[in-house]
Chain A
């Protein structure tokens, strides 16, 4: 109970601060729109075995949404660095608040904002031919929370361990971004890829979310891809959180 209350308190602070920041709110909505407007037209002429499963928007959208959650997760490192440098995180760590709440409260504010932009993108995709399967999307949302947790917990731990050194941390984050996106099969399905590339993709947490997301967006909940995604991302999120909590307990920064 106490932990839930603390999570709620620590969720509100970044969530409301973002809400009061017009540029954040605008970018939060405009970025997904960019994907739709600038990328969707390219897909119209595309066809092939990889897209046999359904309408092209139906296949493409889950990948974009999953990508938004990954970038929100890794992007959360920048406010974290700032808060480390200001001593805010240290100040919070001295309070009796549970370490879990300290980590997940702010993370959930990123979840909330990304869910908002995802809802916008889904609504706007309906005219492009996207069919909404409510149950599938709800299960997808749970998977996306796990996905964001993996990346946000991981970068937070890295940021604290590197004492908020922005150059090194952003180097790592930006450097890993591209392989994560490409291996995740967000832009184009990995069904088109050679075997070795498909094998490599299994190292990328995003890959599992995208694969499961395509099933879920089509309304298929009980598929192997969905089961595998939960089996991988659930424990992985737990592991990342556990590591970040451990770092928070022992942090030197």
Chain B
């Protein structure tokens, strides 16, 4: 009887830290006023300027923004590759500043470069990764075979990585990142440079990871990718989050539609035409996109006749007109005044 009582008492209370971790377990990542600056010359430039994020456990979270917005820096802060300057961040229930060892044990990180060892074979590379997370040689080998099967690497996993194609290498990078079954997986631009077929394949793999309970935090500068793949999206620009929510919520904020008109005009005349339209009452906003005009209106179908009337009044012939529902790019445009498709180009690379 006494023994039982003691056993009972020992069994129930979990360690406080573990209790707290479990209580937090519906939130995989939380950041509060996260900050990071880098020295540029003698002054410091804020690369991450007060980022608040909340990522639920088990979801795919898309981190969208132009090149140079600070996406990779945020990822590196969360993966403990960089010390944070200010604010707080917890990942998988652990504080990145004070419990970096625990964070490392519970996250996987696949950088843009991937970081595979070209001279090793796929299996060797995966096994080394597993062993660095404390797995035994046998367990790491078994897990590597399992992942090779799952991600379709079996055919070439015995070959040296330097012989792999881009898509093969990217799948191997992901396999290495999940060798230790992390709670949270960071994927930095997982599909950049992949052809459409490999991209679709990668999307499938990422969805499958979510099914297995892994929280996936991915950065992308592809609108379609963030839209199609993510349960929640945060849009980052100049180191700050400008919008956060489900893709549907974000797009719903953009009341109205976009009308894309392709007039038979050259560049300068298109800009003039844009000015005319923007001063017209039913057009809220607009921009030039190559040889086309994108106009935002409250109600596309009813605005079209008025737009046609305006075109006729100015004697402008058109090649085509199309009507589109809001995209995440429209969300970005509304928050920043720029199009995501153009935003990265003028700001150089290296986010």
Contact = CB atoms under 8 A, between A and B. Distances in A.
Interface of A: 2, 6, 9-10, 13, 17, 85-97, 249-252
Classify the secondary structure of A's interface with B. helix
A86 B81 contact: no
A9 B128 contact: yes
A91 B134 contact: no
Contacts of B118: 86
B117 A90 contact: no
A92 B132 contact: yes
A89 B101 CA distance: 17
Interface string B109-122: 10111111111100
A94 B81 contact: yes
Contacts of A94: 79-81, 104, 107-109
A251 B133 contact: no
A57 to B, nearest CB: 38
Classify the secondary structure of B's interface with A. loop
Contact of A95 (B38, B104, B120): B104
Contacts of B120: 13, 17
A17 B81 contact: no
Given A9-B132, A13-B117, A251-B81, A96 B104 contact: yes
B80 A252 contact: no
B129 interface: yes
12 contacts: A13-B120, A85-B113, A86-B116, A87-B114, A90-B115, A91-B109, A91-B111, A91-B129, A92-B115, A96-B101, A97-B132, A252-B82
Contacts of A95: 104, 129, 132-133
A2 B134 contact: yes
B105 interface: yes
Contacts, number: 66
Which of A10, A86, A90, A95 gathers most chain B CB within 10 Å? A95
Which 6 pairs across A and B sit closest by C-beta, in order of nearness?
Answer: A87-B113, A91-B115, A87-B115, A96-B104, A94-B109, A95-B132
Contacts of A2: 134
B83 interface: yes
Given A94-B104, A94-B107, A88 B132 contact: no
A86 B101 CA distance: 24
A249 B112 contact: no
Given A91-B109, A94-B109, A252-B82, 4 more contacts: A17-B120, A90-B111, A94-B107, A95-B133
A11 to B, nearest CB: 12
Interface residues of B, number: 29
A90 B82 CA distance: 11
A80 to B, nearest CB: 13
Interface string B12-39: 0000000000000000000000000010
Given A94-B104, A96-B101, A96-B104, A86 B132 contact: no
A96 B115 contact: no
B176 interface: yes
Contacts of A249: 83
Interface of B: 38, 79-83, 101, 104-105, 107-109, 111-120, 128-129, 131-134, 176
Nearest to B124: A13
B81 to A, nearest CB: 6
A85 B118 CA distance: 12
A88 B117 contact: yes
Contacts of A88: 115-117
A96 B131 CA distance: 11
Contacts of A9: 128, 131-132
Given A90-B111, A91-B111, A96-B101, A17 B134 contact: no
Contacts of B115: 86-92
A228 to B, nearest CB: 38
Contacts of A89: 115
Nearest to B108: A94
A113 B220 CA distance: 43
A92 B113 CA distance: 13
Given A13-B120, A90-B81, A95-B104, A6 B114 contact: no
B128 to A, nearest CB: 6
A249 B107 CA distance: 17
Contacts of A92: 115, 132
B176 to A, nearest CB: 7
A123 B93 CA distance: 58
A160 B6 CA distance: 54
A4 to B, nearest CB: 13
Given A9-B131, A96-B104, A96-B105, A86 B113 contact: yes
A89 B114 CA distance: 10
Nearest to B101: A96
A41 B68 CA distance: 60
Contact of A250 (B82, B101, B105, B176): B82
Contact of B113 (A90, A93, A97, A251): A90
Contacts of A10: 132
